Amino acid sequence: MSTPDPNRVLIFDTTLRDGEQSPGCSMTQPEKLRVARALAELGVDVIEAGFPAASRGDWEAVREIAREVRGPIIAGLARCNREDIDKAWTAVREAARPRLHVFLATSAIHREHKLNMAKEQIIHTAVEGVKYARNLCADVEFSPEDASRTELEFLREVVEAVIEAGATTINVPDTVGYTVPEEFFEVFDYLKKNVRGADRVVFSVHCHDDLGMAVANSMAAVRGGARQIECTINGIGERAGNCSLEEVVMAMRTREALYGLRTGIDTKRLFPTSRLLSSITGMPIPRNKAVVGENAFAHESGIHQHGMLKHHSTYEIMRPEDVGLSRSHLVLGKHSGRAALRDRIKELGFEISDAELGRVFEEFKALADKKKELFDGDIEALVLRSEAGATGPWHLESLHASSDTAGTANARVGLRHADGRLLSQEATGDGPVDAAFKAIEVATGLVVTLRKFEVRSVTMGEDAQGEAVVTVEHDGRTYRASSVTTDIVESGVRAFLETVNQVEQGRALPGRAERRTSEAAVTASTI
Ligand code: KIV
Ligand code: ZN
């Protein structure tokens, strides 16, 4: 894809591929589709929807996104062999604008220790892979993996050869987060000036954050001529993560006078998209995270507050509303009507249908009865919960839990099954949450292993809502669910019951072991 406007930088989002493959970030197929839709609304140019050869589940998720999501280009990743490329192509071919993203490592370290291939073999395999992909798809991206540790002259040779073979985008990855801005600028500047055919392709950058420089390195690359940035929401990704989409986009926008570059991102959707991903993966956003962290626009010191009261520009380089973070914290109460709620939801950056609004309004009224004041975080939690859809077959009808300092804890849960059964079960445990989880296991007859139980407050104050994220294992598969209520025991119990529902419905997270076996089964040199 070419960029007719030389100052337009394409945003290639790889949250669903590089982000999703990192520990703690796995998503189910419906969750991936929700994220893909949010990315399309955010205005990304390319969604890398997954790595279809990694597992059957990955292939299906990419195919569904290619079928359902319109707007951005939908890319599928493939190693440089026919099996991978065929799998990626069958997954993306139904997209309105499909892309094949083919990669092969080029650095001496990878050539010797991983691939056991000489330089000539690397060039041959890369060229054959790109030609094969180009026969299937007009839009082919090539990535020389570990490019930042590849001999510059050899990198130029590889890039020239794949352009000749038909690649339309050349992505230069800093796979291990090793480079620094000055050096990476030189790499792009050199390739742009010395590669034959450089003017026929878009140069792209893909940075990891091992030394905390992924955003800075990406900015150096665009200064050197890159016009596509590969990044993820909240910077999730392998090890320390990838370049954070919200940070790199706001860096270009805030320093537009210096860089003269633009993206197609609707920045007001940054905050809601970031919250959506965090609520789906259960991966918290650090309070001090740039652009989307809770403290990113909070001013605590007296001198700063004084300055802010005089003029916001004294201590603020971006406006919170520009990233979709509304200033007002105290919002609605129990006398607020449906129209006020709809306006607030819109201001927070969410679009919901009338039917969804009806559901959210019911829950809003119930919550307003329990809480004096409703904050933006409360409204967000209601919307995100409603978007997640109804669950089942088990529903929580009642919960009584008690504990004392002597260490005794009891819980009684009342459950209703979709088939009409009503069950009540009591259990004792190591704290009320443990007791309630045990009661659910006995009542449903399903025993799971609790792997993680995390609780955080979504707003402030004594009556703040608590979000619980529960991760369990059953039969070697992992299940994760979250719930938000004003009572953290109830949140935990609802999230736990949801994981039991997922087990019953076979809605496990994609398994890492399954992916690794499938990845290892295909060698890199079969083309
Ligand atoms: O980091 C990396 O090198 C990658 C490639 C597959 C683009 O993720
Ligand atoms: Zn990567």
Start-end ranges of CATH 3.20.20.70 in the chain? 10-287
Given a contact cutoff of 8 angstroms between Cβ atoms, the answer to whether 236 and 281 are in contact is: yes
CA-nearest of 25, 50, 22 to 36 is 50
Quote the pTM value.
0.86
Alpha carbons 26 and 136: distance in angstroms, whole number: 29
Give domain 10-287's CATH number out of 3.20.110.10, 3.20.20.70, 3.30.160.250, 3.40.50.1580: 3.20.20.70
Ligand number nearest to the C-alpha of 104: 1
Q: How far is the CA of 2 from the centre of ligand 2 (A)?
A: 23
Give the start-end residues of each E strand in 278-367.
330-332
Of 496, 272, 259, nearest in space to 383 by CA = 272
Residue 107 CA neighbour count, 13 Å, CB half: 16
The pick from 17, 101, 106, 145 for probing ligand 1's pocket by mutation, whose C-beta has the most ligand atoms within 8 angstroms, reads 145
Selection from 86, 128, 126 nearest residue 110 by Cα? 126
Q: Distance between CA atoms of 446 and 448, rounded to whole angstroms?
A: 6
Every domain range in the chain assigned CATH 1.10.238: 302-388
* CA of 388 relative to ligand 2 center, distance in Å: 28
Question: CB-based contacts of 188: which residues, under 8 Å, 6+ apart?
Answer: 172, 203, 205, 220, 221, 223, 224, 225, 226
Residues of the chain with CATH 3.30.160.270: 395-512
Please tell me the distance between residue 513's alpha carbon and the centre of ligand 1 in angstroms.
20
Give nearest CA residue, ligand 1 atom 8. 18
Q: Where are the alpha helices (DSSP H) in 389-469?
A: 432-444
The CATH fold assigned to 302-388 is Recoverin; domain 1 (1.10.238)
Residue 391: closest CA among 274, 472, 482:
482
Provide residues with CB under 6 Å of ligand 1.
18, 103, 143, 145, 171, 173, 175, 206, 208
3-state secondary structure string, 97-134? CEEEEEEEECCHHHHHHHHCCCHHHHHHHHHHHHHHHH
Element (H, E) at 479: strand 477-485
The closest-lying atom of ligand 1 relative to the alpha carbon of residue 173 is: 3
Ligand 1 pocket test, pick from 85, 102, 103, 114 with the greatest ligand atom count within 8 Å of Cβ, gives: 103
Could you list the pLDDT tens digit for every one of the 527 residues in the chain? Answer: 445 799 999 999 999 999 998 888 999 999 999 999 999 999 999 999 999 999 999 999 999 999 999 999 999 999 999 999 999 999 999 999 999 999 999 999 999 999 999 999 999 999 999 999 999 999 999 999 999 999 999 999 999 999 999 999 999 999 999 999 999 999 999 999 999 999 999 999 999 999 999 999 999 999 999 999 999 999 999 999 999 999 999 999 999 999 999 999 999 999 999 999 998 998 889 989 999 998 888 766 777 777 777 778 887 889 999 998 875 555 677 888 888 888 888 877 788 889 989 989 998 998 888 887 788 888 888 888 766 655 789 999 999 999 998 888 999 999 999 999 999 999 999 999 999 999 999 999 999 999 999 898 887 677 788 889 999 999 999 999 988 888 999 999 999 999 999 999 888 888 765 565 454 444 444 44
Ligand 1 atom 5: the closest Cα is on which residue?
A: 145
Q: Does 395-512 carry CATH code 1.10.490.10?
A: no
